[in-house]
Amino acid sequence: MLREKLKNYNVILASKSPRRQQFFKDLDIDFTIQLKEVEEIYPKELKGKEITKFLADLKSKPFTDLSKNDILITSDTIVWLDNKMLGKPKDEAEAFEMLRSLSGKSHEVITSISIKNKSFQEIITDVTTVTFKKLTDEEINYYIKNYKPFDKAGAYGIQEWIGFIAIENLQGSYFNVVGLPVHKLYKVLMSL
Ligand SMILES: Cc1cn([C@H]2C[C@H](O)[C@@H](COP(=O)(O)OP(=O)(O)OP(=O)(O)O)O2)c(=O)[nH]c1=O
């Protein structure tokens, strides 16, 4: 479907996330990967969806020479807990703190996707509410040691062991939690 729909475009995915790259393959999109370094810094007064929208847009900014048929896709995922943002943990201690703070509570996983071309830009956002059971310190340490979740917002991957044993409830898109609300991306791309 999308391959045919987008045959006159060059779809560029600016993401180093192997999960996002796999989603694009599984959507049967013909695409290339182009990476440009961006420092993920945002104004501290921003909250929740405003942060992911800002960062998805920021990741698109270095691409200043898009041509008419290019479609650039960038995105950002955060964990939003008790009015605070959890990004990627920098070390084991921070991962431990993040998982402790998620334990026994619900949080939101928010992803924004920027779809941009020479003459337009659309930023879409999706929110999933995830509820964790109470985690023991032993479970947290076991997960961090074996899965090293330093590339994941909130220090967990729903698609890994911790997702199997700890997630009691989920409201919204599972794939949004993994890093891409594919159903919304599909809708926008089909409408181009
Ligand atoms: C909460 C959660 C996040 N994640 C991932 C999705 C994102 O890839 C990552 C959050 O980091 P992001 O900054 O959104 O993305 P990234 O740095 O991995 O890739 P890029 O900016 O190059 O596109 O966390 C999971 O894989 N599983 C989960 O359960």
Complex prediction ipTM = 0.93
Residue nearest to atom 19 of ligand 1 (CA): 17
pLDDT (tens place) for every residue of the chain, 192 residues total: 999 999 999 999 999 999 999 999 999 999 999 999 999 999 999 999 999 999 999 999 999 999 999 999 999 999 999 999 999 999 999 999 999 999 999 999 999 999 999 999 999 999 999 999 999 999 999 999 999 999 999 999 999 999 999 999 999 999 999 999 999 999 999 999
Which ligand 1 atom sits closest to the C-alpha of 59? Answer: 21
Residue 85, amino acid: M
Give the residue, out of 115, 129, 178, with the most ligand 1 atoms within 8 A of its beta carbon, to mutate for a pocket test: 178
For residues 156 and 143, give the distance between their C-alpha atoms in angstroms, rounded to a whole number: 9
Q: What is the DSSP letter of 105?
A: S
Pocket of ligand 1 (CB under 6 A): 15-17, 19-20, 59, 75-77, 79, 88, 109, 151-154, 156-159, 177-179
For residues 152 and 103, give the distance between their C-alpha atoms in angstroms, rounded to a whole number: 16
Q: What is the pLDDT of residue 174?
A: 98
| Distance from the Cα of residue 60 to its chain's centroid | 15
Q: Which fold has domain 2-190?
A: Maf protein (3.90.950)
Q: What is the pLDDT of residue 126?
A: 98
Q: Are 166 and 139 in contact (CB under 8 A)?
A: yes
Can 137 be counted among the known catalytic residues? no
| Residue 30 burial (C-beta neighbours within 10 Å; 0-12, 13-18, 19+) | middle
Listed as own residue / partner, the contacts of 41-50 with beta carbons closer than 8 Å and 24 or more positions apart are: 47/83, 48/80, 48/85, 48/108, 48/110, 49/110, 49/112, 49/125, 49/127
Which residue in 77, 137, 129, 131 sits closest to 102, CA to CA?
131
Q: What are the domain boundaries of the chain?
A: 2-190
Contacts of 25 (CB under 8 A, 6+ apart): none
Give the residue, out of 60, 151, 160, 182, with the most ligand 1 atoms within 8 A of its beta carbon, to mutate for a pocket test: 151
Which ligand 1 atom sits closest to the C-alpha of 180? Answer: 6
